[in-house]
Amino acid sequence: MNHKDRWLLPAGITEVLPPEAAHFEQLHRRLVNLYTTWGYELVIPPMIEYLESLLVGVGDTLELQTFKLIDQLTGRMMGIRADMTPQIARIDAHHLKREVPTRLCYLGTVLHTRPNKFAGSRSPLQVGAELYGYAGVAGDVEIISLMLETLQAIDIKDFHIDIGHVGIYRTLIQEAQLNKEQETQLFDAIKRKAIDEIDVLLGNWHTPCAAHEMLYELAQLDGKDDILHTARRIFNTASDPIHQALDDLVHLSEQLGQHNLYFDLAELRGYTYHTGIVFTAYVPQYGQAIAKGGRYDIGKMFGRSRPATGFSTNLRALASFSRLPDKPSTIFAPAINDPQLKQIIAQLRQQKQLVICELPEQIGDAKAMGCDRELRLINQNWQVVELNTSN
């Protein structure tokens, strides 16, 4: 790399410049303040950890997205976080060790080896909230409600939520007694909603009739809340875990029915990671998820099982739906060594006014510095005067 290329960043790695950085910080404060009013405590986990901590219980996808390096002090493999959720689970299980429900929120940069559809870059600003220590559906309702308020806080009004429950598919697979290779083939077909292929596969494997029919129908169970009534009929003879999953989805629909909910019982996103209700928020014309989450339990990997549910989103993506704030009014102070002027400047700054002090013999006047007002000495008193910015 020659000196002309030293300013280049790696593909997919971005930096935030003014005034966009101020916009991000404004949104950051808005969201953290929102989460605080719901009782979610802010945590700041490290950018780098030992690899086994970062990848515990999260499946192969996250491992492929994680940058890896050797710790020069211990010789152990380390990773740069590609997702903050495992870190938050570690903090809850290992450090806080509370018996009561625990609410935590976070915001920070994560790094990906490759850009993915959700983040859109290799360095998204992940923001989210997690609820630990409560297994009931009321926790899922709270987390989804907080996700919806997050979107509304960014002035995103037109969105819809896809909701599924991986526990239904997980139970049916166990009852169908498929081997690992068969499960992989069926999983791929259901994700693609390849109805005919699913029917052929189950028939070739001589799957028990009840499990065959339910798995075949599962791939077609998507729609508004009335699809849950159809699922009740189809799974009438199913085992208790499936009825409990449907009960949870019905309860969630009753609590959040005023929102644009869409149910897809074959939604298997994060199947190796999630254990129950999963959800994704979409915005028209965006083309990919704007926020997502679900129920999981990886605390046991840190020595303490804790039911959990949470969501995350990318602040960079959220910011694209929010208008940049207006340029703040700024006062220019001349480079004059006057105690009265210094006192006035200090008072203005205490009042949260923006004051830029001229540097001796600097290039550029008040207008060139982007100021719309300046301090002038009038009748022996320093006064703030509006600048004529029309020229």
pTM, to two decimals: 0.92
Q: What's the CATH number where 232 sits?
A: 3.30.930.10
* One domain, residues 73 and 125: yes
pLDDT of residue 391: 52
pLDDT for 219 equals: 94
* Tokens 């903050």 belong to residue: 84
111 with 226, same domain: the answer is no
Query: Does one domain contain both 120 and 33?
Result: yes
Average pLDDT of span 277-287: 91
Least confident of 6-15, 303-312, 353-362: 6-15
Q: What confidence category does residue 117 fall into, taking pLDDT thresholds of 50, 70 and 90?
A: low
Q: What is the pLDDT of residues 326-336, one digit of tens each?
A: 889 999 999 99
Greater pLDDT, 272 or 193: 193
Cβ atoms of 103 and 129 closer than 8 Å:
yes
Asked if 75 and 135 sit in the same domain, the reply is yes
Q: What is the pLDDT of residue 235?
A: 97
The mean-pLDDT minimum among 78-92, 199-213, 284-298 falls in 284-298
The alpha carbon of 267 is separated from its chain's Cα centroid by a whole number of angstroms, namely 19
When the pLDDT of each residue in the chain is averaged and rounded to a whole number, the result is 93
Position 390 scores a pLDDT of: 59
26: left (phi over 0), alpha (psi -120 to 50) or beta: alpha
CA distance 85 to 64: 16
- Do 40 and 149 belong together in one domain? yes
In a domain, residue 4? The reply is no
Let me know if 194 is exposed, middle or buried by CB neighbors in 10 A (0-12, 13-18, 19+): middle
Q: Based on the fold, state whether residues 221 and 294 are members of the same structural domain.
A: no
Whether residues 34 and 181 share a domain: the answer is no
Residues 27 and 171 in one domain: no
Number of separate domains in the chain: 3
For residue 1, the model assigns a pLDDT of 56
Choose the weakest-confidence range: 32-41, 54-63, 92-101, 346-355.
54-63
Specify the pLDDT at position 120. 59
Q: What burial class does residue 113 get, using C-beta atoms within 10 Å of its C-beta: 0-12 exposed, 13-18 middle, 19+ buried?
A: middle
Which of 213, 248, 282 lies at the terminal end of a domain, its last residue?
282
Shared-domain flag, residues 297 and 151: yes
Split at pLDDT 50, 70, 90, the class of 304 is confident
Give the domain extent around 103: 10-156+288-326
